[in-house]
Amino acid sequence: MSTPKHPLEPLSAAEVRLAVALLKDAGKVTRTTRFVSVSLKEPPKAAVHAFPCAESVSREVFAVLFDNATNACYEATVSLTDRGLLAWVHVPGVQPTMTADEMIECEQAVLASPEFQAALKTQYGVEDTSRVMVDIWSAGYYGQAEEGSRRLARPLCFLRADPTDNGYVRPIEGIRPVVDLNAMQVIRVEEYGHWPLPPQPGNYAADRVPVKRTGIKPLEITQPEGPSFEVDGYQVRWQNWSFVIGFNAREGLTLHHLRYNDGGVDRSVLYRASLTEMVVPYGDPGPTQFRKNAFDVGEYGMGACANSLELGCDCLGLIRYFDAHLCDSRGNPLTIKNAVCMHEEDYGILWKHTDRRLPDSPEVRRSRRLVVSSVSTVENYEYGFFWYLYQDGNIQLEVKLTGILSLGTLRPGETSPYGSLIAPQLYAPVHQHFFNVRLDFDLDGMNNSVYRVDVSADEPGPSNPHGNAFAARPTLLATEKQARDHLKLETARTWRVVNPNVRGPVGEPVGYKFLPMDNSFPLASPEAWWRKRAGFVNYHVWVTPFDEAERYAAGDYPNQSQGGDGLVKWTEQDRPIVNTDVVFWYTFGHTHIPRPEDYPVMPTAYIGFLLKPNGFFAMNPANDLPPQAKKTAASGLPLAKGDCCH
């Protein structure tokens, strides 16, 4: 088994196989055991910072297993270096993430259920279940005893016209099977009345769209001399940046050990950046819709749902792909080819100035950014996670939301105040998407502080005689409770993470500014069950002292939990966060009021945030970029003197 090139590289296929074998050899796996996840147990920070000067770092694996026979969850730590079991812990009363195998088996169980077949025949006269499509949805928790004692799913069902039809446009609204995932049996079928199937198809596949637009000329992206990045295993170097790409079944794509080479000095910025949780609450209180509240990370696993990306479709240009090595729920190897895509792309003007006294000699530099991305399909929705690194030191995350709306059926002539009619008898409930990202900053070292920065006007008076004065006013956040806060448009609120122990060129602590973009507030009552489980939506910003056990904003096991875990629990300690190893957590939401134009497949929506150096560099770090050669016009004629591509 080859040794990884960096201690934070994700597990290889051989390492996953070895970890599974060690657990089996230790007698911890039975015929009813499922492997929920097998991922790298990241080594201590000190060991990573000492690499590669220190001795090689021990490779360990953290695995979550679940026994269907006893409804019991276990956590295991395995040493690949010493080839032995280090820890085996029973975690009582929790339901871990549902596995991809359970999704498949759940659909089969519903289709084979005599009770479901009978309801389908009674309501729709359909006896052939081969056209039925079943999407697994967690049962969540709504105060019922069974939700705290059984591993449950409440699937949504749809009826296709044929095997390639878009089944989502024909929801079987009145029938809701309930599945015990341990027994893999339908324990009952709940019926809420009869809704006729929507009459119109809503297909989007190329072979189902009869008339396609014309006049689209080829657009090729070429790099005849190759890309500007260098790759060694899962380590990447590009335009002064260096980092490690990570991946696991729960979080999906992660970035590690992100550093910037500043004039020959390797400066740390982020130790780890990851998506920790997301929740999609729906706003329809009706009996067939109110349970739709998906925790796509903790209930399904964003990494386990990752796509194998394809050149020319998901990524364009000169691409470098990275595979993800996981296992299925029985421990068999599972490799997601091309789970992560990396490429460069042009991003317009980075900076420009034209001296009016020298109009023929404008100075302009084009921006180039490095894109590291992964896309996951969680039943009907697609989520693309795009990390961008820029030549001027900026870091951006953009989440791209697309896929198919989760739809409901209306009776002829009906409308709903809780959703938009998008086709005859078909509506899309209003809903929100909330994401939480964990940013473990290490700005020029581990000990950092966080300031909240508000811009406010001075009161008119002797010091403000013209009434024009306003200033950015920072507030040092001393404890966790003080740090819990919201965006504030009235004061253009941002946050600044600094290292108080390292001074920049003008004597101020070096720092990075956190700039929020589009966001939302949760619209459901704080007493809604999903909000009790997703306490991370209560604030946009949280700051905690680093604790390797605090990784997920809604806690380790949000599936069917009763809530109160994660950030809401940890920050009640009100620990100090000044000049220490801090973690910055950001919750950002997209409120989706669906439109007919979101049907049958949704154009991409965008949401995210930006990190900008703020006193980290002595000057514009992209000031050293060379100018690009001027090109000829597409017609073959030379460009006018002084012209340049913008």
Maximum Cα–Cα distance across the chain: 84
Residue whose C-alpha is closest to residue 375's, from 367, 386, 366, 384: 384
Is 381 designated active site?
A: yes
Whether the CB-CB separation of 406 and 425 falls below 8 Å is answered with: no
Catalogue the E-assigned strands of 263-332: 265-281, 293-294, 320-327
> How far from each other are the two terminal CA atoms of the chain, in whole angstroms?
50
Which residue among 124, 381, 383, 599 is the active-site one? 381
Peptide bond into 52 cis (omega under 30): yes
Q: Could you give the CA distance from residue 562 to residue 577 in angstroms, rounded to a whole number?
A: 29
Which residue among 67, 135, 180, 296 is the active-site one? 296
Q: Could you give the CA distance from residue 50 to residue 589 in angstroms, rounded to a whole number?
A: 38
Is 232 designated active site?
A: no
Q: Could you give the CA distance from residue 104 to residue 225 in angstroms, rounded to a whole number?
A: 45
As a residue count, the chain comes to 646
Burial environment of residue 292 by CB neighbours within 10 A (0 to 12, 13 to 18, 19 or more): buried
Q: Could you give the CA distance from residue 486 to residue 516 in angstroms, rounded to a whole number?
A: 10
Q: Could you give the CA distance from residue 245 to residue 372 in angstroms, rounded to a whole number?
A: 9
Check residue 627 and report its DSSP letter. P
Q: Could you give the CA distance from residue 61 to residue 38 in angstroms, rounded to a whole number?
A: 7
Whether the CB-CB separation of 292 and 201 falls below 8 Å is answered with: no
Q: Could you give the CA distance from residue 270 to residue 396 in angstroms, rounded to a whole number?
A: 12
CA within 13 Å, CB half, 123: 22
Q: Which residues contact 313 (CB under 8 A, 6 or more apart)?
A: none
Torsion-angle region of 489 (φ positive above 0: left; ψ -120 to 50: alpha; else: beta): alpha
Burial environment of residue 357 by CB neighbours within 10 A (0 to 12, 13 to 18, 19 or more): exposed
Enumerate the active-site residues: 296, 381
